[in-house]
């Protein structure tokens, strides 16, 4: 990987970006660093920077800002979802209770903003402020719609664009901005990240229907949580009225009945819901690849193409 050295150095810089004078906070942030995930987002920042130049101090700051936001949202999500496990480790709210988890999340968000203002990276500040706003809007839009279960395909795309794709879009935009990219190039890379993020989220939604996933996510969990994802939206839209009413009732009233959930999963598979979602996911991947094809050949471009393949072929 052409960014192995940068990723190693990034770990150290990311930890430094979280440090504070409060011992409790340092204890929590040390825990965050030791239980971190695959760090896909910083990779996008570095590879997009290398696509048009090199990695510099501003690139590292941008990658840290992104990872601070990402970590903050995960910490807050675990509180909202009352989840006590994250990647097979205890979550922060499980170990330190909700109040501390919420405050740690707030602290990480503030560090992200300060990292940009302290270094006068106002272009990066504009990107991360927009990203934080959109991610919050996406979560709230999903909560609002989940109550009524009236999510159309268009609303679903808007939710995943804001919830998931906006952060990957910010990675790609920040990567090129750290090398002085103009507005047009920044927008192009933002689009590249959006398409990548959309494909990534649809892949995540497909795991709900595949018993062979290694993600540790139980099959049917989205249905149990009444989350309307693309395979389900498509299936209900194309189903006969009698089937639609029956399965809508499953989601609304029998979402904790294993027999009814299994029945719905089979119906989605039989109705072509999965095939439809796979097709949409591949369309988004292709749109991202089309943007990449405009750049000259380089190690960074090859790696970004490989990451695009990984996004839709991953098993977890």
Q: What pLDDT, in 10s, does the model give residues 121-162?
A: 999 999 999 999 999 999 888 888 877 777 889 999 999 999
- Read off the tokens for 78: 């675990």
User: How many CA within 13 A on the CB side of residue 88?
Assistant: 4
**Stretch 268-287: mean pLDDT:** 94
pLDDT of residue 129: 93
Rg (CA), the chain: 20
pLDDT of residue 214: 45
**Residue 242 DSSP SS3:** helix
Unique residue bearing structure tokens 């089979």? 266
**Stretch 283-291: mean pLDDT:** 96
The whole-chain average pLDDT of the chain stands at 85
Answer with the residue of higher pLDDT: 235 or 221. Answer: 235
pLDDT of residue 215: 45
Answer with the residue of higher pLDDT: 96 or 270. Answer: 270
Instruction: Check which CATH number belongs to the domain holding 115 and give it.
Output: 1.10.600.10
Counting residues of the chain whose pLDDT is more than 90, the rounded percentage is 46
Partners of residue 89 on adjacent β-strands: 86
> Which has the minimum average pLDDT: 25-34, 44-53, 99-108?
25-34
Answer with the residue of higher pLDDT: 288 or 71. Answer: 288
pLDDT of residue 73: 84
Q: Residue 269 sits in which domain range?
A: 4-313
pLDDT of residue 33: 67
- Please tell me the total count of domains within the chain: 1
Neighbour tally for 279: CB within 10 Å: 12
Q: In this structure, what DSSP letter does residue 34 have?
A: H
**Residue 86 DSSP SS3:** strand
CA proximity to 7, closest of 58, 52, 44, 51: 44
Q: What pLDDT, in 10s, does the model give residues 227-258?
A: 889 999 999 999 999 999 999 888 888 888 88
pLDDT of residue 90: 63
Neighbour tally for 204: CB within 10 Å: 19
pLDDT of residue 209: 83
């Amino acid at each position: 990987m052409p960014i192995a050295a940068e990723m190693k150095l990034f770990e150290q810089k990311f930890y430094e970006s979280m440090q504070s004078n409060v011992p409790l906070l340092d204890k929590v942030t040390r825990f965050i660093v030791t239980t971190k995930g695959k760090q896909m987002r910083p990779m996008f920042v570095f590879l997009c920077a290398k696509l048009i130049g090199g990695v510099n101090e501003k690139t590292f700051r941008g990658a840290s800002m992104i990872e601070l936001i990402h970590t903050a949202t995960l910490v807050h999500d675990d509180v909202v979802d009352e989840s006590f496990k994250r990647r097979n480790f205890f979550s922060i709210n499980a170990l330190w209770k909700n109040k501390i988890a919420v405050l740690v999340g707030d602290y990480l968000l503030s560090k992200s903003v300060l990292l940009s203002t302290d270094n006068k990276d106002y272009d990066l500040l504009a990107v991360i402020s927009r990203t934080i706003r959109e991610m919050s809007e996406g979560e709230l839009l999903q909560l609002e719609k989940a109550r009524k279960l009236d999510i159309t395909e268009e609303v679903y795309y808007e939710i995943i664009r804001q919830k998931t794709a906006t952060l990957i879009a910010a990675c790609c935009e920040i990567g090129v901005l750290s090398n002085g990219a103009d507005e047009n190039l920044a927008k192009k890379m933002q689009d590249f990240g959006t398409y990548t993020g959309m494909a990534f989220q649809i892949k995540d939604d497909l795991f709900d229907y595949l018993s062979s996933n290694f993600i540790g996510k139980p099959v049917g969990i989205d249905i149990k949580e009444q989350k309307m994802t693309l395979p389900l939206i498509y299936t209900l839209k194309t189903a006969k009225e009698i089937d639609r009413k029956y399965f809508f009732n499953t989601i609304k009233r029998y979402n904790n009945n294993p027999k009814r959930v299994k029945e719905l999963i089979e119906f989605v598979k039989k109705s072509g819901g999965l095939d439809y979602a796979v097709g949409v996911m591949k369309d988004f991947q292709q749109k991202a690849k089309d943007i990449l094809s405009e750049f000259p050949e380089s190690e960074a471009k090859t790696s970004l193409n490989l990451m695009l393949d990984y996004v839709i072929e991953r098993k977890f």
